[in-house]
C-alpha cells in the first residue's frame, strides 16, 4: 500500500450510514409533512406558497356559464338603500328567469324577517316552483357566548359524504324556509390567517345535512353533482382558477331596468349578491386581501361546474411526487456530502429547492391538497446537516491523514509539514533526494520450507527491521516490495542532510538484520542477509497516481541507480553499496571505493562505494554470482 492510496481509501464510518440514513430521514420528513396535520406556522407557510402559485395560474378568460348580478353602490343609489323589500328581489328573480331566460338563480342574500305579505308570497312561490336557490348561513364558531339561532332552517338533503359540524345558524323567515325547495349554505370557515380557501359543501346540524349554495345551485339547475363518500365535502378547496375579471358582472339596477343584452344571461347560472362596501360582505382570498364574498361563491360554483364537466386537470399523486423528489435529493446529497465542499453542497441543495419550486408549480394544478413545502423542509434538514457534517468530515479526514502519514513519514516530518502550511505538499516537485532500496537475499530459500504462519512472521520481522530505521531518520516510506522496501529522504520536505540520514538508516538496518539473523540461526535456520543500494540526485517526487489509484513516489535516474546498486550487492561481501551521488553529498560518513562497474541500463561505468573499514558492514557469506 502506498501513502496516497491509503489516504484516498479512508472512509468515515458515518459515510457508510449516510447511504440509507439521509434518504430515510428526508423522506420521513416529507411524508410526515404530507400526511400528518402540519403545525400552525408550517401550515401558513404552505398556504402562502400555494397562494403564490394560484395567483400565477389564475386566468382572466371569460367564464361563460356563470352570471353575477351585483347589488352594487350604483344599484343602492339608483333603486334604493338596503334592505330591499322581498317584492323588489322577486322582480329581480322573475326578470332573470323570464326575460333573460337564465338557467337558474341563487340568492347570496339572507331574508330573516318578513317584509310585505305580497312580496313575501311572490318570493315564496318562486322558491317553491322556479329554479331558485335561497341562502342560509350556518355558523361554525365554538367560542360565541351565545349560539346563533335566527330564522328557520330549510333545504336539508340526504348525503353519505363527510360534512362539517355547525353550532348555529342565520336563516330565512318561516314562509320562505318552508316554501324553498333548494336552500344553500353561505357560511364559511376561514383559515388561521383569515383567508377563505375552502368551503364546506355539506354541513351537518342537529342530525340534518345542508348543502352549500353553489352545490345547491348545481343540483337544482346544473345537472347535479354526486359527492364521493370519502371526498372533500366537509371542506372543498376553492380552485380560484379565474380572476374576478373573468366573470360577467352586471349591476342589479341594470337588470331591473332591463338595460343589458339578454344573450349575456341566457342559459347561465346566476348568482345574486353584493359587492357594496356598505353591506360589509368582504373576505380575504388567495387572490386579494379584500374581495366580495360573492366572488368566493362564483369561484366555488365554477369549481363544481369544472368537476361536473370534467374540466379539472388530471389528478397527479402530488404527495408521492414530493416524497420521490425528497428521496432523489437526499440520495444525491448522501453521495455528494463526502465528496464536495460545504459550499458546493449548499449550492446543490439550493438548486434542488429552486427546481422543486418549479416542479411544484405544475403539480399544484393537478393536486391542490399536497404540501408544496414538504420537500423544502427535507432540503432544509439536509442544509442544516451539510455544513456541520462537512466540518466533521474535514476534521476526521485531517486526523486520519495525520495518523496515516505517521505510518510512512517520521513524526518530525509530519510536524514540519503542518508548520510549512504548504497548499499541496504531495504535489509533484523536483527535489534533491537520496533513495534507499533494501531487499532480503534468498527470500524464497528462506521461506519455502517454513509453514505459512512462520513465513509470514519472518517477513513481518524482516520488514520491521527495515522500516524502523527509515522512520527514525525522518525518511519517507515509498512502498514495500514483498520482502523489501523503497524509501527516500529529502521529500516531501527538502532536507540538506538527506544523504547522511539515509546512510544512518542503512547502518541501523544492517545491525537489526544481523540481530534477527542470529535469532534465526539459534533456531537452526539459515542466516539472513540484507542487500541495500543507496544513491542521491535530482528526482521528481509527488503524487503520480491515477483516478483509480494514487501513489506518492520519487522517479529519476538516482532512483534507478539505487535499484541497480542493490542488485550489485550480490557480488560483494558488503551489505550496503553506495553511489557517487550519495558520497558527494554525505558529510558525516567515510567511504571505501570498490571500483567501477557497468550497471544494467547505464552507458558508462558507475563508481561503487561502501562504508569505510572502521564502519563497514560486511557479510559472512560469500558473494553469489549474477
254 with 338, same domain: the answer is no
Is 43 part of a structural domain of the chain? no
Verify that 574 and 526 share a domain, yes or no.
Answer: yes
Looking at 340, 373, 403, which one is the last position of a domain? 403
What range defines the domain where residue 531 resides? 422-615
Residue 122 located in a structural domain:
yes
Arithmetic mean of pLDDT, 1-20? 48
Q: Is residue 417 part of a domain?
A: no
- What pLDDT score does 543 carry? 76
Instruction: Assign 86 to helix, strand or coil.
Output: helix
Distance CA 426, CA 551 (A): 10
The count of domains in the chain is 3
Report yes or no on 51 lying in a domain.
no
Cα dihedral sign for 32, 35, 38, 42?
A: positive
> What are 68's three cell numbers?
353575477
Domain contains 377: yes
Say what the pLDDT of residue 223 is.
82
In a domain, 592, yes or no: yes
pLDDT band at residue 625 under the 50/70/90 scheme: very low
146: which residues sit within 8 A by CB, 6+ positions away?
A: none
Higher-pLDDT residue of 185 and 2 is 185
581 and 519 assigned to the same domain = yes
438 and 550 co-located in one domain: yes
Same domain? 340 vs 303: no
Q: Flag whether 79 is in a domain.
A: yes
Q: What integer is the mean pLDDT of 259-285?
A: 86
Residues 481 and 395 in one domain: no
- Domain stop point among 259, 291, 309: 309
For residues 90 and 119, is the Cβ–Cβ distance under 8 A?
yes
What DSSP element (H or E) covers 440? Answer: strand 429-440
| Boundary residue ending a domain (370, 403, 436) | 403
- Cell (9 digits) for 541: 517526487
pLDDT digits (tens, 9 = 90+) for 40-61: 667 888 899 999 999 999 999 9
Does residue 113 lie in a domain region?
A: yes
Confidence of residue 300 (pLDDT cuts 50, 70, 90): very high
**Residue for grid cell 348580478:** 69
CATH number of the domain to which 552 belongs: 3.30.70.1230
In this structure, what C-alpha cell is assigned to residue 132? 331558485
| Mean pLDDT computed over 536-549 | 80
CA distance 611 to 534: 11
C-alpha 273/C-alpha 296 separation (Å) is: 11
Q: Are residues 111 and 78 located together in one domain of the fold?
A: yes
Residues 341 and 386 in one domain: yes
Same domain assignment for residues 534 and 587: yes
Q: What is the mean pLDDT of residues 222-249?
A: 83
pTM beyond 0.85: the answer is no
Amino acid at each position: 500500500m502506498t501513502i496516497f492510496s491509503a489516504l484516498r481509501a479512508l472512509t468515515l464510518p458515518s459515510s457508510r450510514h449516510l447511504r440509507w440514513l439521509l434518504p430515510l430521514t428526508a423522506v420521513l420528513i416529507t411524508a410526515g409533512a404530507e400526511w400528518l396535520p402540519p403545525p400552525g406556522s408550517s401550515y401558513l407557510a404552505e398556504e402562502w406558497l400555494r397562494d403564490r402559485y394560484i395567483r400565477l395560474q389564475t386566468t382572466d378568460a371569460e367564464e361563460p356559464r356563470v352570471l353575477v348580478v351585483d347589488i352594487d353602490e350604483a344599484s343602492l343609489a339608483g333603486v334604493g338603500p338596503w334592505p330591499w323589500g322581498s317584492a323588489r328581489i322577486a322582480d329581480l328573480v322573475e326578470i332573470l328567469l323570464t326575460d333573460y331566460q337564465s338557467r337558474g338563480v341563487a340568492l347570496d342574500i339572507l331574508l330573516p324577517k318578513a317584509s310585505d305579505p305580497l312580496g313575501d308570497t311572490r318570493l315564496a312561490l318562486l322558491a317553491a316552483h322556479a329554479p331558485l336557490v335561497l341562502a342560509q348561513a350556518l355558523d361554525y364558531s365554538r367560542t360565541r357566548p351565545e349560539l346563533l339561532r335566527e330564522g328557520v332552517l330549510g333545504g336539508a338533503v340526504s348525503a353519505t359524504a363527510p360534512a362539517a359540524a355547525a353550532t348555529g345558524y342565520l336563516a330565512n323567515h318561516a314562509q320562505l324556509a318552508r316554501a324553498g325547495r333548494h336552500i344553500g349554505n353561505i357560511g364559511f370557515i376561514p383559515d388561521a390567517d383569515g383567508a377563505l380557501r375552502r368551503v364546506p359543501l355539506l354541513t351537518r346540524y342537529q342530525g340534518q345535512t345542508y348543502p352549500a349554495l353553489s352545490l345547491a345551485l348545481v343540483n337544482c339547475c346544473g345537472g347535479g353533482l354526486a359527492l364521493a363518500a370519502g371526498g372533500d365535502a366537509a371542506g372543498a378547496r376553492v380552485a380560484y382558477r379565474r380572476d374576478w375579471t373573468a366573470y360577467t358582472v352586471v349591476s342589479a339596477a341594470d337588470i331591473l331596468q332591463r338595460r343589458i343584452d339578454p344573450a349575456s344571461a341566457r342559459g347561465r347560472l346566476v348568482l345574486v349578491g353584493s359587492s357594496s362596501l356598505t353591506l360589509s360582505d368582504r373576505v380575504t382570498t388567495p387572490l386579494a386581501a379584500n374581495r366580495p364574498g360573492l366572488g368566493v361563491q362564483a369561484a366555488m360554483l365554477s369549481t363544481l361546474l369544472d368537476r361536473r364537466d370534467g374540466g379539472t386537470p388530471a389528478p397527479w399523486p402530488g404527495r408521492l411526487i414530493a416524497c420521490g423528489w425528497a428521496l432523489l435529493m437526499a440520495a444525491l446529497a448522501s453521495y455528494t456530502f463526502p465528496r464536495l465542499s460545504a459550499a458546493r453542497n449548499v449550492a446543490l441543495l439550493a438548486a434542488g429547492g429552486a427546481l422543486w419550486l418549479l416542479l411544484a408549480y405544475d403539480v399544484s394544478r393537478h393536486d391542490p391538497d399536497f404540501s408544496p413545502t414538504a420537500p423544502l423542509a427535507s432540503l432544509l434538514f439536509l442544509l442544516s446537516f451539510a455544513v456541520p457534517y462537512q466540518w466533521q468530515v474535514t476534521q476526521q479526514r485531517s486526523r486520519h491523514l495525520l495518523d496515516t502519514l505517521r505510518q510512512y513519514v517520521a513524526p518530525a516530518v509530519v510536524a514540519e509539514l503542518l508548520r510549512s502550511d504548504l497548499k499541496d505538499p504531495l504535489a509533484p516537485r523536483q527535489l534533491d533526494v537520496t533513495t534507499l532500496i533494501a531487499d532480503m537475499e534468498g527470500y524464497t530459500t528462506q521461506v519455502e520450507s517454513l509453514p505459512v504462519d512462520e513465513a509470514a512472521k519472518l517477513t513481518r520481522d524482516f520488514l520491521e527491521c527495515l522500516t524502523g530505521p527509515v522512520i527514525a531518520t525522518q525518511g519517507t516510506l515509498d512502498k514495500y516490495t514483498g520482502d523489501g522496501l523503497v524509501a527516500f529522504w529529502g521529500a516531501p520536505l527538502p532536507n540538506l542532510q538527506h544523504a547522511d540520514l539515509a546512510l544512518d538508516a542503512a547502518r541501523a538496518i544492517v545491525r537489526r538484520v544481523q540481530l534477527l539473523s542470529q535469532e534465526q540461526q539459534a533456531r537452526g535456520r539459515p542466516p539472513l542477509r540484507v542487500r541495500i543500494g543507496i544513491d542521491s540526485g535530482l528526482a521528481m517526487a509527488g503524487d503520480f497516481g491515477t483516478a483509480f489509484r494514487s501513489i506518492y513516489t520519487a522517479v529519476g535516474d538516482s532512483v534507478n541507480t539505487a535499484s541497480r546498486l542493490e542488485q550489485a550487492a550480490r557480488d560483494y561481501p558488503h551489505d550496503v553499496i553506495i553511489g557517487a551521488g550519495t558520497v558527494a553529498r554525505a558529510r558525516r560518513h567515510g567511504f571505501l571505493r570498490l571500483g567501477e562497474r557497468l550497471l544494467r541500463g547505464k552507458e558508462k561505468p558507475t563508481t561503487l562505494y561502501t562504508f569505510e573499514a572502521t564502519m563497514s558492514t560486511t557479510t559472512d557469506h560469500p558473494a553469489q554470482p549474477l
